Chain A
């Protein structure tokens, strides 16, 4: 099957979503982790911020990222008509 311009657009959009979500993943994990010592004094719900992020915050963000990706991609699949036929 030949790829159409529409396919290429779909793929570019997919790459964009993937890239943005990976950036969030990177910031939450590595940027927050790297500056953990400098953010010790910030507290949230009684936790020092870096500890909160490592123990709960980052995990919540990961779950949301994956959920959002699934939602977004299924919308994109339908928009570009590349969704699978019913099984």
Chain B
């Protein structure tokens, strides 16, 4: 039923992207031949990152535009499947690509909260928002709030919340960009941030949503290929089956059996584990004693301890036959010694927690909410549920995703494009748990029990790169690796998979390019959301409604530049960890937007007063809870019902709903015009007779 122009456009797109995918695979093959010929790894890494980044920039240049509708909503002619791919890469950030498999490796079943949360949210998007937003058919999410509730206050709160959650999220992405470029090219973190940013800017600067959409489709292809290849290989290596999602049930059984052996002190392997755990138990007791002494002794105790270390280092220095390594360690210990009581408390507390974790038995990968007693288990279950709900509702409220549904050709296409998005996204999310299990199998069976003199090459390689990602120390000096002696940082799992699977370096570079694609594409979408909120909602809708289109686009682009530089600056200060930032963005979005958006469509009685009350109280509750409970802010108030700060939205959302309902019922029903607008949104064919309001 498509018009010939659109169907020609679609088949053209299919041809382009098929050629592109073929070209990309050819490029990988070519590089692996180069690798066989002896081209150094570093150069291959540069070529890989250079080519992909300039590719994105190239698409940006090709799709440059100065048409308002093209700039904001890609001309509203993005076919459902391509919109699905674009949303897929817009959606999957560095946290999904690199962090997720690692989180699953470290926390087993409990990590599945992210898998379910980040996919199930699209059910809410499809059922409650996407088709209605498409029918509404404007440019931004605050547009909808402004038109539905009237007046500039709901719009302003919307703008504030959109910028707040997008900005929090974009910092996490730029952080990922900096991390990947610096790790794989050896550039400085700050330089990495600005190089990555350059390509983001070039792309969104020239072509807005149009350029970002077509770049994101290209990025989806790269990131999914990069994620799948090593996992498939690993699956073939361990099971002989190239479909990891099917094959890993069998591997999981073996991992579970192995976990039992390692936790059983009567088996030889289990006995060695028990020995190492006993040593960590002693460490833990020592840490706790030290913390107690610090509490009573204060600064005096701290300087006393430091003096001991300084003395020990000086004594070693004085000895002629001193072991240079021991001397280095002693000096390092002096240099790393905490500067004041607060820092000491923090560092030693962390140390105590780490030692405590190593002194107990390992928990089973597939066991939900593992814990020593009923209360811990209940607590974990409660937090799991809360996190799933926050991530889902947050998904259905993040403006950079929702505004993509403005770009499809029709309401029907919007519905279908949620289907494609979810399908493309699920492809990665069903693979990540498989990767976690396969990697765990490798570590539990091949690494544990191997001798320290013959560590697998990927272990020694990564241990020399970054101690927080991978470290093995022979704690009980028996020359054999025990599980408790291995420390793995979550990010390692995806980054090291190609080496674990024994693949050539090209695949490692491919994974880096995939991670970069994931981070860049999400950053692109977010940055555009922020700039559009400022230029469209604040400048055009509130400050200067008569502005000519040329000036609107100019303002938009200028703001993009300002936002990008500001975000890069904040990122270079390295504020907090990625997961905290991401979690905060979801909770904030869910609390601020979801109640007002969903009720705006499904409850005609919802009015301006309700929206103002609901959005502001939801957002405020969420912000206050995060502020008082995240250790980062230093307030450390007791938790409400033991809910972790990452799920702050669990309080913000009900408050938001209550706010909208109470506020609306206390004030008169919205006028006829608004009610007509709700009808307009509900029925795909209803013509609008409310032009004056939203045009």
A residues lining the B interface (CB < 8 Å): 1, 3, 7, 10-11, 14-15, 18, 21-22, 25, 29-30, 33-34, 36-37, 40, 45-48, 50-52, 54-56, 58-60, 62-63, 65-67, 69-70, 73-74, 77, 81-87
Contacts and interface: CB of A to CB of B under 8 A. Distances in A.
B3 A87 contact: yes
Do most interface residues of chain A lie in helix, strand or loop, or is the interface mixed?
helix
Contacts of B426: 59-60, 62-63
Contacts of B568: none
Interface string B435-450: 0000000000000000
Interface of B: 1-3, 6, 109, 112, 115-116, 119-120, 122-124, 126-128, 131, 245-246, 249-250, 252-253, 366-369, 377, 381, 384-385, 388-389, 392, 409-412, 415-416, 418-419, 422-423, 426, 429-430, 433-434, 602, 679, 682-687, 689
A33 B246 CA distance: 22
A79 to B, nearest CB: 12
Contact of B369 (A15, A30, A36): A36
Q: 4 shortest A-B CB distances, which residue pairs?
A: A46-B249, A54-B112, A36-B368, A70-B415
B679 A3 contact: yes
A7 to B, nearest CB: 6
Given A47-B366, A50-B368, A51-B252, A69 B112 contact: no
A73 B412 CA distance: 8
B112, B122, B367 — most chain A CB neighbours (10 Å): B112
Contacts of A1: 686-687, 689
Consensus secondary structure, chain B interface: helix
A37 B377 contact: yes
A21 B127 contact: yes
B588 to A, nearest CB: 22
Nearest to A70: B415
A85 B410 CA distance: 9
A10 to B, nearest CB: 7
A54 B109 contact: yes
Contacts of B116: 29, 33, 54, 58-59
A67 B419 contact: yes
Contacts of A84: 410-412, 684-685
B685 A81 contact: yes
Given A40-B368, A87-B6, A55 B112 contact: yes
A25 B249 CA distance: 24
A67 B84 CA distance: 13
A83 B126 contact: no
A74 B412 contact: yes
B367 A40 contact: yes
A52 B1 CA distance: 40
Contact of A63 (B392, B423, B602, B679): B423
Contact of A56 (B245, B368, B384): B245
Given A58-B120, A70-B126, A82-B686, 16 more contacts: A14-B682, A29-B116, A30-B389, A33-B385, A46-B249, A46-B253, A47-B249, A47-B366, A56-B245, A59-B115, A63-B426, A70-B418, A73-B131, A74-B412, A81-B685, A85-B685
